[in-house]
Amino acid sequence: MELLLFWIFGAIAVGMFASNYRNRSGFGFFLLSLLLSPLLGILFAVATSKLPEPQKKGKGPMIVEAWQRPIRSKPKCLALPPNALASVNMACNGSWL
């Protein structure tokens, strides 16, 4: 019984070490040490290199909340060349055929 408790708490400690000090997946190292042994898990965690800290992403200038967006009174229209309308009319009337 004591061995089982030592095994589980050792696996938890390995997962916490990997997560806090190596920036690795704590849950993955927990499962690894739970399946193999806490001793092998801590050896693997110590042998791995430390990953760089993830960059914390804040709200940049382009991100605006939905309630802060300006309301457009009219939708923007697509600018067409001057003779585009005539081309569409001729195609629809069949005068090009």
Q: What's the per-residue H, E or C state across 23-81?
A: CCCHHHHHHHHHHCCHHHHHHHHHHCCCCCCCCCCCCCCCCCCHHHCCCCCCCCCCCCC
Domain range enclosing 18: 12-47
1 vs 84: which has the higher pLDDT: 1
Domain count, the chain: 1
Confidence category of residue 80, pLDDT binned at 50, 70, 90 = low
Q: How much is the pTM?
A: 0.54
- The answer to the question of residue 60 being in a domain is no
Mean pLDDT of the region 50-74 = 63
Mean pLDDT of the region 29-40 = 92
- The answer to the question of residue 4 being in a domain is no
- The answer to the question of residue 42 being in a domain is yes
Confidence category of residue 97, pLDDT binned at 50, 70, 90 = very low
